[in-house]
Structure 1
Amino acid sequence: MKRTTRRLALPVMTLLVATAVAGPASATTTAVPGCAALNQLKIPASVMSLPTTGGRVTAAVDTTAVVSGKTIRFCQVDADLFPVDPAAPSIKMRLDLPSEWNHRALMFGGGGYNGTIPDPASNVPFGPADQPVPLARGYATFASDSGHQQNPASPPSLDGSFGANDEALVNFAAGDALKKTLDASRFLIRRGYAASPAEVFFSGGSTGGREALNVAQRWPTAFDGVISAFPAWNNMAEILDLGYLVQVLSRPGAFPGVDKQTLLYTSVISACDGLDGLRDQVVSNPGACHFDPRSLRCPGGADTGPACLSDPQIGAVTAMSSPFRWPYRIASGETQYPGFPFLSGADMRTPFLGFGTTAPANPMPVTSGYGMQYWDQWVKYFLTRDPQYNSLDVDPRHPGKWLDRISALSTIEDRNNADLGPFARAGGKLILLHGAADELVSPYSTTDYYQRVRETVGPRATDAFLRYYVVPGANHANFGTPAVAAAWDSLSALERWVDRGQPPANPVVTDLSHARTRPLCAYPEWPRYRAGDPNLASSFVCTR
């Protein structure tokens, strides 16, 4: 199906009344969908393009809630999509159908290992605080747990036990649950409104960012617009790097404690903050930052306290910020992971995402870094499928008997098809975002994917459907106490691009933690301070 730039058309409503107004922003349905008719509704397997045994609505509740400061009425629909393998878990999904529908739908992606349903009343990644969330704008919003349910005793999004089942693994890692959820949601939207959505968008960050790129790669006509933030698209490549870092950080004396992580952060800021023309605690020109951790070396290389780094700690910091390359081939074709930007201004005040507060060990502490725990779950349930296996015993540099399994998993977990030409030719638009100080998914990795797309599709063709922005100082999902809490109305920008053919023009990002704005510069540009009020975007210019 070929998509074209258009205004939203109002469908003929046989069960509901629609307002006869022009333009996509004001087109709304004025009656609440019939929740009672949706409750316990059977979802035929035939409406889903991938194998299931159908599904059923488990609850449909007419709901009134305050969302983004606005009281809205919507039908909250919960459903289960049944697996083919009786031993596999169902996909649990939720769909919110607002009474004032704008004839659009938006799917949210998940995070980590998923296992819970993202809130359909939430915002897009790096979303604005002064604009309504999609549901409050009139979107029909939906999401799923990607085909498994997290153990409540596990840390959020860190339960990988579902990986022991092949169908559950493919639903999550290959993204099959995304299409099944989309197909079921379209069916329920048609039943609820007696009309199909004129446009469907996808938004996600981290694992959800990988899912966003996945839908553009695998189902190029399914979504009109996609927002992909800090995407873990090369999941296997990152996992191998994380496994190597587990090896490094578990060595005696190698783990830098929180005091030393803070020392590293403040030292990087001191050395590189002014390279953009302004000292504001943000490294806006990370490409010019060449901080050497050896400048923090303790006398003689031994650990003499929090004011310096020992030789093993310098080795660990260097390993985290350097590319990791493996000396063997894997089926996905990936050969390396580019490392993390700890020497380019990452915020060490959120150690859970980066180093953690304690070294990796067996059993893996919940106070170790998020990535270290992610690796531990992956080894136990994806790789060895032995919950008692010591993840420190797998060396990604020399995996031995596990090499074939790693290679096979790479074809499922690395969603690395750079040919987005079919998505572009179908009229799809993609906004790609990453924080320059992300300590969990490397921004260098997203830059790698963007450059691959430009090489594959061509620079001019890429510019016609894709924009890539790196946000200086922003970390992973604005988690903890970031140097920059980024906020930008990417959804409105995507709407204008899809509806009117107007790409984002001179976007501005707000730093919610410091009440300041900056120009959001399309890669490879970055914001350089010119003159004027340092809290205003107008005082900066995007430069290369």
Structure 2
Amino acid sequence: MPAAEATDVPAGAQPGVLQDCEALADFAFENTVITSAETVPSGELTNRGEPIGEHCKVTGHMNERVSPVDQQTYRIGFEMRLPKDWNGRYLYQANGGLDGTVVPALGTVGGGESGLQVGMAVISSDAGHSSAQNPTFGVDPQARLDYGYQAVGALTPTAKSLVEAGYGRGPDYSYMTGGSNGGRHTMVGASRYADEYDGFLAVAPGFNLPQAAVAQVWGAQQWATVADGTDLKTALTQDERQVVADAILSRCDRLDGLEDGMVQASERCKKVFRFERDVPTCDAERDGTCLTAEQKDVVAKVFSGAETSTGESIYSSFPYDPGLTQAGWGNWKFDAPLTRDSSAYGYIFGTPPDAPALETLPDYALNLDIDQAAQSIYQSDGTYTESAMEFMTPPELDRMDSLQAEGGKLMVIHGAADGVFSVNDTASWYERLDKANQNKAEDFARYFEVPGMGHVRGGVATDQYDALASLVGWVEQGSAPQQLTAWVNPANTELPADWSTERSRPLCVYPATARYQSGDPESASSFRCTGDKPQKADR
């Protein structure tokens, strides 16, 4: 796909020129320290093989303090990159995982366009702690809150003031984007900071992250019952995952009008695919061509969604998608629960934190009291005054009143084969949002599912897309996205050999899905989004 040009400025945003990079070393803002301001020449950085233009890289930190709980020094580290040729826009880049690292502020989204490359001023932060403090920062109450939402609130006025100092005026439009935990940050931003931003783009958003973390640990305990020792990957091997994927494709591939190794008709697939019936059961020993009855029981439980011992739901169910063959799916299901998810719960989401010794995390996960953990993420006390479900999740999740009142727009993109955050959860949220807004949620929020895509990217999928430009067009020109065009990453080694490296598909506004019409089966132009609500005028 061609790289966007910095000169492509839609009506509404006015370009500007950076005045003096080095002078920004003297930028002054409350509780903020600038540590450097240096010019980065054009071409030193690239995106999609194209040079990123000359810009100013400003680094600093704010709100430094010593915790009264663990005596650690905390501060919100950041970098901001301000292009010499500015397009009048500012972008907050929300980062993933447990944060803790100031990722380069390039504003790259979905393997497509880079905000910095097209002329946006971009900020990135560590959300209030260092990587060396992961996950133990969770014992500090303020570090929890910064990670959840307060770092964004503190950094936003700082970033806008830096823009004003660099260009002589503030941004005409402000945007926020991120994937995974960054997608959660973005949806929290749409709820808490809609007065500061005009548009939000969330990818694979873990907006119920505390629930998902507990569910992941619960899943590990299920896998352990059919695994070989402590190696959870043996619970469902690569060959066995392929057996499941083949069964899904056998039933569902052709439902969208084309047999192409993809399942576009996801809702129809849920009706025709039956895991127990369609996946072969072993008559004897496991040999990679079938699943034992015990394995099938565990797989069915995991896909149905985590529950307490009394049957209360902890987190969402997952759809059966052939993308479960990808390496990333296995990593999230079998490796992450023993380390990332168990540490996130043990230090950050549980109240009070269990703070298990880091070398004991796998044992901690496999022996965790799930009923107690499912309650703990909703608890607070005199020290931890907000529960994890309060400081991590968007407070206006099912209405987005502030976003509507401010005239903001939200785009959400999620892969159907995400192994940690379920598209079923995201679809359920969007349906509740639509119902709460008299079936008019698409006036301000649009959701797109990506068949086969794993967590944020990857998998047997067309997982590359330019969404930031569509968001800008919606916010500034009122051109609501009716669909996005997605294409394969030729460097993706998990793509089948018979797929064209030029394959593209439309991503449809939920609940519509892509159906083949006629023409080149490798081209998005040969498909049409169907099954959607009646089209409305652009807003």
TM-score between the two structures when normalised by the length of structure 1: 0.82
Per-residue CA shift, 1:499-520, capped at 9, x if unaligned?
1212113432223343122222
8 Å Cα contact 2:14-2:172 kept in structure 1: no
Residue 5 of structure 1 corresponds to which residue in structure 2? Answer: none
How far 1:354 sits from its partner (Å)? 4.9
> Do 1:247 and 1:395's aligned partners in 2 also have CA atoms closer than 8 Å?
no
Q: Percent identity?
A: 25
Would the alpha carbon gap of residues 160 and 266 (structure 1) be closer, same or farther in structure 2, given more than 3 Å must change?
farther
* 2:321 paired residue among 333, 344, 352: 344
Query: For residue 114 of structure 1, what is the aligned residue in structure 2?
Result: 99
2:415/2:452 contact within 8 Å kept: yes
SS in 2 for 1:478: coil
- Do structure 1's residue 314 and structure 2's residue 314 form an aligned pair? no
Match of 1:172 in 2: 147
Q: 1:445 aligns with which of 425, 443, 446?
A: 425
AA aligned to 2:39 is D
Secondary structure of 1:65's counterpart equals coil
Q: 1:299 to 1:104 in 2, by over 3 A?
A: closer
Change (3 A) 1:237 1:380: closer
How much does 1:376 deviate? 1.6
Q: Indicate if the aligned counterparts of 1:127 and 1:490 stay in contact, CA closer than 8 A.
A: no
1:31-89 CA distance string (max 9 Å, x none):
x4422222254421xxxxxxxxx120111111113234235211100011124544352
Equivalent position to 1:473, from 446, 449, 452: 452
Distance 1:398 1:91 in 2: 32
Distance 2:268 2:135 in 1: 39
Q: Aligned residue for 1:77?
A: 58
Question: Runs of 4 or more off by more than 6 Å in structure 1?
Answer: none
One-letter code aligned to 2:15? T
> Aligned partners of 1:317 and 1:79: how far apart in 2?
47
Q: State the one-letter code of the partner of 2:38.
A: V
Relative to structure 2, which stretch is displaced further, 494-503 or 261-270?
A: 261-270
Which residue of 13, 22, 28 maps to 2:15? 28
Distance 1:543 1:449, change over 3 A: same
Quote the residue 1:249 is aligned against: 223
Q: 2:59, 2:78 within 8 Å by CA — same for their partners in 1?
A: yes
Instruction: Determine the C-alpha separation between the residues in 2 that align with 1:292 and 1:352.
Output: 18
| Letter matched to residue 386 of structure 1 | P
Deviations 1:204-229 (A, max 9, x none): 11111111110110122110011011
Q: Shift of the alpha carbon at 1:199?
A: 0.6
In structure 1, what is the equivalent of residue 489 of structure 2?
Answer: 512
2:420 aligned counterpart, secondary structure: coil
Task: Give 3-state SS (helix, strand or coil) of 1:438's partner.
Answer: coil
C-alpha spacing 1:122/1:216, structure 2 compared with 1 (3 Å) = closer
Please, which runs of 5 or more residues in structure 2 have no aligned partner?
Answer: 1-6, 228-233, 381-385, 491-500, 532-539
Q: Tell me which residue corresponds to 1:8.
A: none
Paired residues of 2:482 and 2:509 also in contact (CA < 8 A): no
* 1:40–1:59 CA contact under 8 A, matched in 2: no
Instruction: Confirm or deny: 8 A CA contact 1:286 1:345 kept in the other structure.
Output: no
How many angstroms apart in 2 are the aligned matches of 1:472 and 1:268? Answer: 13
Aligned partners of 2:280, 2:52: CA distance in 1, in Å? Answer: 57
Partner letter of residue 185 of structure 1? Answer: A
CA RMSD of aligned residues (A): 2.8
2:342 alignment counterpart: 376
Q: Name the CA shift for 1:371/1:277 in 2 (closer, same or farther; >3 Å).
A: farther
Q: Is the 8 A contact 2:483 2:509 kept in 1?
A: no
Verify the 8 A CA contact 1:351 1:369 in the aligned structure 2.
no
Aligned pair 1:259/2:239, yes or no? yes
- The DSSP-based 3-state class of the residue aligned with 1:82 is strand
- Return closer, same or farther for 1:312/1:217 CA change in 2, 3 Å cut-off: same
Runs of 5+ unmatched residues, structure 1:
1-18, 45-53, 153-158, 357-367
Letter in 2 for 1:489: D
* d(CA) in 2 for partners of 1:379, 1:433: 26
Aligned pairs for 1:6-45 within 5 A: 24=11, 27-30=14-17, 32-39=18-25, 41-44=27-30
**C-alpha contact 1:272 1:291 (8 A) present in aligned 2:** no
User: 2:193 & 2:371 partners in 1: Cα distance?
Assistant: 34
Q: Is it true that 1:292 corresponds to 2:279 in the alignment?
A: no
Look up the equivalent residue of 2:151 and give its one-letter code: A
The answer to whether structure 1 residue 492 and structure 2 residue 492 are counterparts is no
Shift of 1:399: 4.5
Seen in structure 2, the aligned counterparts of structure 1 residues 416 and 232 have a Cα distance that, compared at 3 Å, is farther
Contact 1:353 1:440 in 2 (8 A): no
Distance 1:400 1:318 in 2: 21
Native 8 Å contact 1:164 1:385 kept in 2: yes
Matches within 5 A, 1:356-395: 368-382=334-348, 383=350, 384-387=354-357, 388=360, 390-395=364-369
SS of the aligned residue for 1:318 comes to: helix
Summarize the Cα distance change of 1:295–1:164 in structure 2 as closer, same or farther, 3 Å threshold. Answer: same
Letter aligned with residue 336 of structure 2: Y
Cα distance in structure 1, aligned partners of 2:418 and 2:9: 42
In the alignment, the residues of structure 2 paired with residue 95 and residue 285 of structure 1 have an alpha-carbon distance, to the nearest angstrom, of 42
Q: Residue 378 of structure 1: CA displacement? A: 2.0
